[in-house]
């Protein structure tokens, strides 16, 4: 039977401690800046940003020409405004409907 801790150990070894510190810093930033009132929702939002940074950090670092710790801090922190804007758009369905209508070529004056 496989060791249940194996996936956690593999993930921990996959990144340097500086990268994990960057991910944690970004997640803490997202948690503290979140407008959500429920703790579970804030934790989920921070976790999504952390997972985004973990999964795309090495690619983004290579693309931007920065170190991976810098990339994951930016990704996990920028994940907050991206989620906030998405949440705002979805919450205001009329604006979302207008944007989609304009993109599809509708909504003209004639």
Q: Is the pLDDT of residue 2 over 70?
A: no
pLDDT for position 110:
43
Alpha helices in the chain (DSSP H): 6-14, 17-33, 39-64, 68-91, 93-103
Give CA–CA dist 48/85, Å, rounded.
Answer: 15
**Segment 22-67, tens digit of pLDDT:** 889 888 988 998 888 899 999 998 898 888 888 888 898 899 899 9
pLDDT at 91 over 60: yes
- Nearest to 41, CA basis, from 83, 92, 96: 83
pLDDT at 38: 93
pLDDT band at residue 4 using 50, 70 and 90 as cut-offs = low
**Token output for 39:** 């703790």
For residue 44, count other CB atoms closer than 10 A to its CB. Answer: 13
């Amino acid at each position: 039977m496989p060791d249940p801790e194996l996936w956690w150990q593999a993930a921990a070894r996959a990144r340097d401690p500086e990268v994990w510190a960057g991910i944690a810093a970004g997640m803490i930033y997202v948690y503290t800046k979140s407008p959500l009132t429920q703790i579970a929702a804030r934790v989920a939002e921070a976790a999504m940003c952390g997972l985004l940074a973990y999964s795309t950090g090495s690619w983004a670092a290579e693309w931007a020409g920065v170190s991976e710790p810098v990339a994951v801090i930016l990704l996990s922190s920028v994940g907050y405004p991206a989620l906030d804007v998405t949440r705002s758009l979805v919450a205001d369905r009329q604006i979302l409907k207008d944007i989609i209508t304009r993109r599809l070529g509708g909504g003209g004056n004639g």
